[in-house]
Amino acid sequence: MNKKKCEGFKEQFINLNENELYEHIQTCESCRIEYLEMQKLSEVLKTVKPYYIKKQNIIKTFKTAAILTLTIFTGFMATYLTGTYHQNNLSFDDLGFPTDEYGFILVD
């Protein structure tokens, strides 16, 4: 019918409305093949989509877990290092030097 006018499926897909496109693929074999390919792809995408969303959620969960872990770890490290620092920060008095009331070494 209008086979010679066909500029390819993409052109038809853009220019025709759904009914016109459907009519066109009844008469144009190359477009029908492309349409069926697209339908197949659409089905594949529909099948894949839930998995993709699931994957996105897993990534989101993983990121949240990683951030939480880091935050908690940093908190622990800060507490631990602070505690260690205070433990190791011996005063002159602790080391056995004679000190004054301010903790300075007494020099006669």
- Which residues contribute to the site for Zn ion (CB under 5 A)? 6, 28, 31
Cβ distance to Zn ion smaller for residue 6 or 92: 6
- Beta partners for 99? 105
Cβ distance to Zn ion smaller for residue 15 or 79: 15
**What is the spatial distance between Cα 34 and Cα 43, in angstroms, rounded to a whole number?**
14
Q: Are 34 and 12 in contact (CB under 8 A)?
A: no
For the bound state, the minimum distance from the C-beta of residue 58 to Zn ion, rounded and expressed in Å, comes to: 42
Longest distance between any two alpha carbons in the chain, whole Å = 116
For the bound state, the minimum distance from the C-beta of residue 46 to Zn ion, rounded and expressed in Å, comes to: 25
Cβ distance to Zn ion smaller for residue 6 or 99: 6
What one-letter code names the amino acid at 76?
F
**What is the spatial distance between Cα 53 and Cα 59, in angstroms, rounded to a whole number?**
10
For the bound state, the minimum distance from the C-beta of residue 45 to Zn ion, rounded and expressed in Å, comes to: 23
